[in-house]
A and B are shown apart, each in its own frame.
Chain A
Amino acid sequence: MLKADNVSCVRGERRLITALSFTVERGRLLAVTGANGSGKTSLLRMLCGLLPAEQGRILWDGEDVRACRERYLASLIYIGHLNSLKEDLTPVENVTISARLAGEAVSEEKTCEALEEVGLSRAIHRLPTRVLSQGQKRRVSLARLWVSQRLLWILDEPFAALDAASTGLLMQQLRAHLSHGGIVIAATHQEIDAGADRLDQLRLAG
């Protein structure tokens, strides 16, 4: 269970989030919406610990994430609006290396299967990532969700640059993760079809 307890965030001179509290239980998806600049990305970065909260606490299973940093990070996967890919590595290398660095034992074969599941054929698995389109790069980035065993997924605009087919595949993967007791927090402008019983909404006013 992830809980934000009275958190506030200030960027420069601007107060983005004031005394925000919410809880996300296992098996539920929190869709964070709001206009551009309303603080969606800042909130997600704060939840990951990339940005310190001006006040308040983030709790993971009842414990402050600052006190259980290693355990919390070992449960978390964050996909930001940048794809976090190395242009000179192949999609297989990108996914495998980043998963291994994060402490997840992933074989190249498993990565290939994941890339196929996100709709990338084997023909492009060994090409440098720089030759792929933006949509294909986004799919490579999202393939980490297919190889990961992490419980908490924090996703910043996961549907950006995806076509309808890829969006459908990702929705399917999100539902599968939720049905296995996972937690998803996603900042998005798109409606998420996770099932009404699994979906919570948080609208940031900015």
Chain B
Amino acid sequence: MNQFGMFAALRDIIRRDLLLALRRRSDVLTTVLFFILVGSLFPLGVGPEPAVLRTIAPGVLWVAALLSCLLSLGRLFTADYADGVLEQMLLIPQPLSLLVIGKVMAHWLISGLPVVLLSPLLGLQFGLTGEALGVLTLSLLLGTPTLSFIGAIGAALTLGVRGSSVLIALLVLPLFIPVLIFGAGAVSSSASGIGAGAHLSLLGAGLLLAFALAPWATATSLRIALE
């Protein structure tokens, strides 16, 4: 197998999806705005008590990140499926799992990375300390790509199904739970002085596991969807 060809295909698919996102900025902005709004409304609703805000911050910010990821998952393969581009992807003389990795990486760059970058800013509203903000960012950096990889399986499984967005949520939310627990747990542990090392290690392991298995599962689901 030509490794240069594989690398070129990966690069080209990421570049194409980023270009498409650039042309349809509203889709990207919806996800980011959702994260900002949820993260900003909670302190207003809960009240200005710093201790309460610091306690709820990890859970609220992680749930907001998780839901904003879920919001964008429906678009991962739907357009490619409808316009026939997905069919052409299956005919590219490269492993489909590799192309799935490209799609997922582009999805993360479009919807996950902005969330990671904005999280310290939102964390400040909750009165998180500098160290906790760093852990929050790092946990999201490890956790959001995992959410994208897991979500891709759900997006592929529900391709062409009516009401697929609800179905994706039902399929992937149970799989998101460990990521949510370890992600929010990392920030809570750091804030309470226990240290976030164990949680971050588990998030890293989860990312590696998702990277190894999800592209294969997604590719298989896509093949079935197109038959």
State A200–B227 Cα separation when bound (angstroms): 28
CA distance A84 to B79 in the complex (A): 10
Contact partner, A78, options B20, B85, B91, Cβ 8 Å: B91
Q: Is B93 an interface residue (CB 8 A)?
A: yes
Partner of B19, one of A51, A93, A103: A93
Among listed B6-14, B36-44, B53-61, B129-137, interface-contacting one = B6-14
Q: Which of B13, B83, B88, B226 contacts A87 (CB 8 A)?
A: B83
B84/A88 in contact, CB under 8 A:
no
CB neighbours of A167 from chain B (8 A)? none
CA distance A10 to B135 in the complex (A): 55
The answer to whether B88 and A84 have CB atoms under 8 Å apart is: yes
Query: Would you give the 0/1 interface string for B118-158, flagging 1 where the beta carbon is closer than 8 Å to chain A?
Result: 00000000000000000000000000000000000000000
CB neighbours (8 Å) of A16 from chain B are none
- A69, A73, A74, A84 pick with most chain B CB within 10 angstroms: A84
Verify B227–A82 contact, CB threshold 8 A: no
Q: Give bound CA distance, A80 to B143, whole Å.
A: 39
A98: B residues at CB distance < 8 A: 85, 88
Report how far A102 CA is from B89 CA in the complex, Å: 8
1/0 per residue, CB under 8 A from B, across A57-75: the answer is: 0000000000001110110
Q: Contact between B19 and A89 (Cβ–Cβ < 8 Å)?
A: yes
23 residue pairs of the A-B complex, CB under 8 angstroms, read A70-B1, A71-B93, A73-B92, A74-B93, A78-B87, A78-B91, A80-B84, A80-B87, A84-B87, A85-B83, A86-B16, A86-B20, A86-B85, A88-B23, A89-B16, A89-B19, A100-B8, A101-B13, A101-B16, A101-B92, A102-B88, A103-B5, A103-B94
A132 CB-CB contact with B under 8 Å: no
A73 touches B87 (CB 8 A): no
* Nearest 6 interchain pairs by C-beta: A82-B84, A84-B84, A73-B93, A88-B23, A74-B93, A70-B93
How many Å lie between the Cα of A23 and that of B88 in the bound state? 24
Chain A contributes a number of interface residues (CB within 8 A of B) equal to 29
Q: CA A74 – CA B5 in complex, angstroms?
A: 11
Q: Point out the residues of chain B lying under 8 angstroms from A73, CB to CB.
A: 91-93
* Smallest CB gap from A82: residue in B: B84
In the assembly, what is the distance between CA of A52 and CA of B90, in Å?
13
B162 proximal to A (CB < 8 A): no
Asked whether any CB of chain B lies closer than 8 Å to the CB of A55, the reply is: no
State whether A97 touches B12 (Cβ < 8 A). yes
The answer on a CB contact under 8 Å between B1 and A52 is no
Q: A73-B92, A89-B23 are in contact. Are A101 and B84 (CB under 8 A)?
A: no
Chain B residues lying within 8 Å of A192, measured Cβ to Cβ, are none
> Do A100 and B12 form a contact, CB below 8 Å, given A78-B91, A89-B20?
yes
Given contacts A49-B90, A93-B19, A103-B93, 19 further A-B contacts (CB under 8 A): A50-B90, A50-B91, A50-B226, A50-B227, A70-B94, A73-B91, A73-B93, A74-B93, A76-B91, A78-B87, A78-B91, A83-B83, A84-B84, A89-B19, A89-B23, A98-B85, A101-B89, A101-B92, A102-B93
Closest CB in chain A relative to B160 CB, distance in Å: 13
A48: Cβ under 8 A from any B Cβ: yes
In chain B between 17 and 72, which residues have their CB closer than 8 angstroms to a CB of chain A? 19-20, 23-24
Instruction: List the B side residues contacting A93 at CB < 8 Å.
Output: 19
